[in-house]
Amino acid sequence: MKSKNNFYTNIKKTWNYLKECKINLLGYGIVSIIEAIIGAILPLISTKIILNITEGLVKQLILSSLAVFLIEFILYLMYYFKGLLYQKIYKKTLINLQTSIARETLKLEIREIDNSSLGLFIDRLNKDTSEISGIFMEYTYWTSSVLSNIGVLITVFMLNKYLFLYAIITSIIMFLINKKRVSKRYEVQKNLKQIWEKKTSLVGELVRGIRDIKVLNANKTILNKTIDKVVESAEEEIKMENINRIYYYFANNLRAISDLFFIIIGCILYEKSLLTIPTFVIIYNYQNKIKNLLTGVVNLSEYNKKFVVSSNRIFEIIEDEKFKKEKFGELKIKKLSGNIKFNNVKFSYDKKNIINKMNFEIKPNEKVAFVGRSGAGKTTIFNLITKLYSIDEGKILLDDKDINDLDCDSLRNNMSIITQNPYIFNFSIKENLLLAKENASMKEIRKSCKMACIDDFIMSLPDKYETILGENGVILSGGQKQRIAIARALLMKTEIILFDEATSALDNETQESIQNAIDNLKGEYTILIIAHRLSTIIDCDKIFVVDEGKIIASGSHKYLLKNSEFYKTLYEKDLKSKKNKKN
């Protein structure tokens, strides 16, 4: 694992997202240098205006004023171009970073998603990328500020070494106070980001789960949990503000005291003929820039720390430092025939064995089913075939090719899965279906929907296929969601189709229609079915009986009724349940 908290390493990594902005960055740097030079010479000319006023030199006063006007005009022009360049650099960097983190999030192992909060990914995608995108501009700003102030410091040294020495001492004191503030803020900021992640996750769950919350009458419980996170977040933010408040209190008092002593020292030097009035006025105009010299250095240090925190959080996802990515092979197969084999496959989740030395074979174009008690490992078998999870031991072979040798497209483009709880996106019906086949025609879309027995319902809607479904298909019933998902899978026309209790939320009439649609596929596709209603899979070519992660029996429905007491019990229980529902 690569070392964390390495500022220079992260700068190099982040530079990859700024490369496209080289010209804008160069322009931003040139403008910042011009701004720094102007910032250094402007107080000198401003001082001449004061001297010309006190000495009554009208002609020189007008010339000095015109010079200040022209310099300020150039300065404001630099501000304008700097802001314009900043916007372009920020926008491009933000787009590149957010695109990259979104792309890499989609590559994460499902196990990593299972073990992480939603807020972790949302906050890193939004807040941390925004901080990094703007942070390079802050570097440039404070670097130009420091350069400008160095020029001022050199000027003061040349004018009067005593006041120069005093300015250095006060700057060091300000630096030490500011450094302490940055150190304390850094620790609070790390903790605050973790709290933000948890708060974002909880708020997301509150919105997505609002129906269940209402039905359970759990408003008070969820609200209290949300309030706890909001309060915790607010308290950490107040801690950061308190650090700033205390610092600024001492810093402002120190500035006032230093100004007083600056005038006293100036008076003493004047009485001893070690300082002239014009020189004193010039240095007095410069003194705040001198004090801010090391403050700028500290601010650069603070941005370094913020950058390290945010960049580490982003590169944990973009790279393989913390979150594991899916790994695929390089073997490309355009079309699988549908042969599937499990050879001594073992799989565990959170140290619990789920699949234990499982062996079976499914031939191309067979219709097979997996039955067993809840938690026996049926859905896990599907997750392993689609490589949502990677096996611990053994081999899974597709057309006699190791699943680990296949590239992502060869695997995922050749199989589709309809789950018990399919996710429907907050898009239109048409857009949800086009996820399966981007270039599908309306004729193809409607054909798939007719096979899934959902076309009539869609056409009855005011906006038909352009109807927006809401988050997770909120306007649909459970059965309608599953039929949309079935249509989506049928549109893919993959060689292998997996139905994970896909008819569980359908009424008997719709279930019969879907069953007919599945039957129409028989002989053309390799079909795998997990069903809790055993009456729906009695015509399968083969049925695998799963218990405690093993295949304990297999064969046709008639064979299993005669030779597997376990299957017979499951079937009779299903018949009894079906009979009770009719009554």
pLDDT tens digits for range 328-379:
888 998 888 889 999 999 998 877 888 988 999 999 988 999 998 888 888 8
R_g over Cα of the chain: 35
206 burial (CB, 10 Å; 0-12 / 13-18 / 19+) is middle
Two tokens, residue 316: 């944990």
Q: Which are the contacts of 486, defined by CB distance < 8 A and separation ≥ 6?
A: 418, 451, 452, 454, 502, 514, 517
Please give the pLDDT value at position 1: 41
Alpha helices in 106-160 (DSSP H): 110-114, 118-123, 129-159
Instruction: Tell which CATH architecture fits domain 327-414+501-583.
Output: 3-Layer(aba) Sandwich (3.40)
- Where are the CATH 3.40.50.300 domain residues in the chain? 327-414+501-583, 423-493
Q: Which are the contacts of 88, defined by CB distance < 8 A and separation ≥ 6?
A: 21, 24
Amino acid making up residue 46 = S
What are the beta bridge partners of residue 369?
A: 529, 543
Alpha helices in 20-57 (DSSP H): 22-55
d(CA 21, CA 517): 54
Please give the pLDDT value at position 308: 80
Q: What separation, in Å, do the N-terminal and C-terminal C-alpha atoms of the chain show?
A: 62
Q: Which helix (H) or strand (E) is 544 found in, with range?
A: strand 542-547
Domain 423-493: which topology?
Answer: Rossmann fold (3.40.50)
Please give the pLDDT value at position 340: 93
Please give the pLDDT value at position 150: 72
Please give the pLDDT value at position 370: 93
Residue ranges for the chain with pLDDT beneath 70? 1-5, 39-40, 43-44, 46-48, 50-57, 117-118, 136-137, 140-144, 146-148, 151, 205-219, 288, 290-297, 320-321, 502-517, 519-523, 577-583
The closest of 329, 391, 400, 403 to 358, measured between CA atoms, is 391
343 within 8 A of 395, measured Cβ to Cβ: yes
Domain 7-189+252-318: which topology?
Answer: ABC transporter transmembrane region fold (1.20.1560)
- Where are the CATH 1.20.1560.10 domain residues in the chain? 7-189+252-318
Alpha helices in 348-463 (DSSP H): 378-385, 408-412, 429-434, 442-451, 455-460
